[in-house]
């Protein structure tokens, strides 16, 4: 994308998000997928994986702080379930689609051709990277206001219904603690594909014994699928 067009796009996104960056390079980095950076190695372009790592922690803290204060009588287990519901990959991807974040991503040709702009794992990661960039640019309080503005409706719904998106890992952990007191472990058994398009194969082990397998474009996605398979084998209803 030409520089002038990219700058216009970044201005448009900032206006839509109602968040103006002091350092626009942070925003651009948050929206640069590793596949695009790999295709432009000579420019030493920075992609969004480090920002995603930071944003994941900032997001969890922002939501935790908010629900801790909003629901002072909820026990730890309820708070954990609410947080897990609104920060899971499916929920974040839906929010990213609502704000049309995919329209602003810089993707490599392979990801572009295979629908990466609408892929949940890429969108969720980009949203976390955006939150990380916002934190570096303006600090925690400003980014928390942004996060809650995006997620407040989902948080309230989750507090009423318990789950908007099924977090199979949390559900499995609760089931094991309630019924078996067993330990659960997730183990990567295989990674395939280039760095910008990795696929993960995960084993779900209960007391070191294999109970389920999962496959996905992120470790989170693969672990969720492995946990779901275990729950199905245990006869736990998907509800």
Q: What are 17-39's pLDDT values in tens digits?
A: 999 999 999 999 999 998 888 88
Look at residue 20 and tell me if it is in a domain.
yes
- Mark which of 161, 177, 193 sits at the end of a domain: 161
Note the pLDDT of residue 196: 61
- Mark which of 136, 161, 186 sits at the end of a domain: 161
Question: 226 and 127 in one domain?
Answer: no
Residues in contact with 152: Cβ distance below 8 Å, sequence separation at least 6, in sequence order: none
Rounded Cα distance between 198 and 192, Å, is: 6
Question: 156 and 96 in one domain?
Answer: yes
Look at residue 151 and tell me if it is in a domain.
yes
Rounded Cα distance between 153 and 50, Å, is: 28
Question: 230 and 144 in one domain?
Answer: no
The terminus-to-terminus CA distance of the chain in angstroms comes to 44
Note the pLDDT of residue 191: 85
Residue 67 structural domain: 3-161
Instruction: Identify the CATH number of the domain in which residue 47 sits.
Output: 1.10.1520.10
**195 annotated among ligand-binding-site residues:** no
Question: 192 and 130 in one domain?
Answer: no
Q: Give 70-84 pLDDT, tens digit per residue.
A: 988 888 888 888 998
Residue 202 contacts residue 187 (beta carbons within 8 Å)? yes
Which two tokens mark 80?
Answer: 């954990």
For the residues 35-46, what does the mean pLDDT come to?
A: 79
Catalytic residue list = 56, 128
Question: 181 and 99 in one domain?
Answer: no
Whether the pLDDT of residue 200 is over 80: the answer is yes
Sheet bearing 199-206, strands edge to edge: 184-192, 199-206, 209-216
Question: 176 and 152 in one domain?
Answer: no
| Residue 197: band (very low, low, confident or very high) from pLDDT cuts 50, 70, 90 | low
Alpha-carbon distances of 157 from 58, 73, 152, rounded to whole Å: 22, 17, 9
Mean residue pLDDT of the chain comes to: 87
**128 annotated among ligand-binding-site residues:** yes
Question: 154 and 43 in one domain?
Answer: yes
Higher pLDDT, 193 or 61: 61
Look at residue 239 and tell me if it is in a domain.
no
Higher pLDDT, 237 or 17: 17
**103 annotated among ligand-binding-site residues:** no
Question: 127 and 11 in one domain?
Answer: yes
- Mark which of 121, 141, 161 sits at the end of a domain: 161
Question: 29 and 90 in one domain?
Answer: yes
Among 161, 151, 92, which residue's Cα sits nearest to residue 124?
A: 92
Instruction: Identify the CATH number of the domain in which residue 194 sits.
Output: 3.30.160.20
Question: 173 and 141 in one domain?
Answer: no
Note the pLDDT of residue 3: 63
Question: 174 and 141 in one domain?
Answer: no
Note the pLDDT of residue 28: 92
Residue 135 contacts residue 53 (beta carbons within 8 Å)? no
Question: 123 and 192 in one domain?
Answer: no
Whether the pLDDT of residue 162 is over 70: the answer is no
Residue 118 contacts residue 102 (beta carbons within 8 Å)? yes
Domains: count for the chain: 2
Higher pLDDT, 200 or 132: 132
Output helix, strand, coil percentages for the chain, rounded to the nearest 5. Answer: 65, 10, 20
């Amino acid at each position: 994308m030409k520089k002038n067009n990219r700058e216009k796009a970044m201005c448009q996104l900032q206006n839509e998000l109602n968040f103006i960056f002091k350092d626009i390079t942070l925003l651009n980095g948050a929206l640069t997928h590793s596949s695009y950076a790999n295709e432009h190695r000579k420019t030493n372009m920075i992609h969004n994986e480090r920002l995603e790592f930071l944003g994941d922690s900032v997001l969890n803290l922002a939501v935790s702080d908010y629900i801790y204060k909003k629901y002072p009588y909820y026990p730890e287990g309820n708070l954990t379930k609410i947080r897990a519901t609104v920060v899971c990959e499916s929920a974040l991807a839906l929010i990213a689609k609502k704000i049309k974040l995919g329209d602003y991503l810089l993707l490599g040709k392979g990801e572009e051709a295979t629908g990466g702009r609408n892929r949940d794992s890429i969108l969720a990661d980009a949203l976390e990277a955006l939150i990380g960039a916002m934190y570096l640019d303006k600090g925690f309080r400003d980014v928390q206001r942004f996060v809650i503005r995006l997620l407040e409706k989902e948080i309230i719904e989750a507090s009423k219904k318990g789950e908007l998106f099924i977090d199979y890992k949390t559900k499995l952990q609760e089931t094991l603690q309630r019924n078996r007191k067993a330990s659960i472990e997730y183990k990567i058994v295989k990674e395939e594909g280039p760095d910008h398009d990795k696929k993960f194969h995960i084993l779900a082990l209960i007391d070191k014994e294999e109970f389920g397998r999962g496959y996905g474009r992120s470790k989170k996605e693969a672990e969720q699928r492995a946990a779901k398979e275990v729950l199905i084998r245990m006869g736990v209803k998907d509800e």
